[in-house]
Amino acid sequence: MAVYLYNLGFTLANATNGNFLDHLGTQTGFGQSDTWFEYNGSGTPTGVTDNVVPLNALTLSDWDTMPLPPDFVAGADYMLLRIFNTDNPQPTMVLRTTAVMGHGIAGSSPISSRLQAPFMIGTKARPVIDLDNSSSANWPGPTGTDGAWTYCLGMIHGVINDYTCNIGATVYASSGPYPGTSCFGRDPQLHVGSTMIPGCDDDVDDQTEPAA
């Protein structure tokens, strides 16, 4: 069993194209965007379960930076998502997170008995994760004391497959130099298989970049 964290950063100063920040060699710790981490403690972090739940601030010493994206093992591994802002000072913001899973354009169309997503809601596949569908007045602020939005997305299920996972965040800032609504997105690929199969890299445009 392993617990993996996908870390994504954004700045409201560069929201025009709707991109989360790329991984940069100058970033350190949880300031590394588009970066995977692996939990180095025993068991699972507090609050991690096979469901979508918000988590408090994570402790950096409990996590190791990964040089490549993980190779998930179905029925054993968990995925966490952390979204953070790099503006200084950080504006007053609320944020709604959405993720949509699929089989990807490189694979054959899924048959009806094949899971459309590696996450589950009860006994059903969960290809859409929408953490809040209300107006911005009711969107959640940071889930932890570190000012980030951290969520457990659940346990990985299914059989050997490469899933796309389009992660989006809609941000509403009520203070600072960039007030209003901005949107950000990223589409890492999730490989579910055995630990003997190499993990898949991020989207094609980023395959020349270091992952950590």
Is residue 211 one of the residues assigned to a domain? Answer: no
Does any domain span residue 54? yes
CA pair distance 37, 86, nearest whole angstrom: 19
In a domain, 212, yes or no: no
- Asked if residue 33 has pLDDT above 70, the reply is yes
Q: Average of pLDDT values for 63-77? A: 94
Mean pLDDT on 161-174 = 91
Domain count, the chain: 1
Give the pLDDT band (50/70/90) at residue 195: very low
pLDDT tier, 69 (very low <50, low <70, confident <90, very high otherwise): very high
| 102 falls within a domain | yes
Is residue 51 one of the residues assigned to a domain? yes
Q: 103 lies in which domain range?
A: 3-206
Q: Average pLDDT in the 113-128 region?
A: 84
Q: Read out DSSP for the chain?
A: --EEEEEEEE-GGG-TT-BPPPP-TT--GGG-SSEEEEE-SSS--TT--SS-EEE-PPPGGGEEE-SS--EE-TTT-EEEEEEEE--SSPPPEEEEEEEEEE--TTSPPPPTTS-SSS-EETTEE--EEES--S-GGGS---SSTTS-EEEEEEE--SSSEEEEEEEEEEEEESSSSS-EEEEEEE--EEEES-TTSPPP-S-GGGTTS---
Mean pLDDT over 141-155 rounds to 96
pLDDT digits (tens, 9 = 90+) for 36-48: 999 999 999 999 9
- At 158-167, the pLDDT tens digits run 878 888 889 9
Lowest mean pLDDT among 32-36, 92-96, 202-206: 202-206
Entry pTM: 0.85
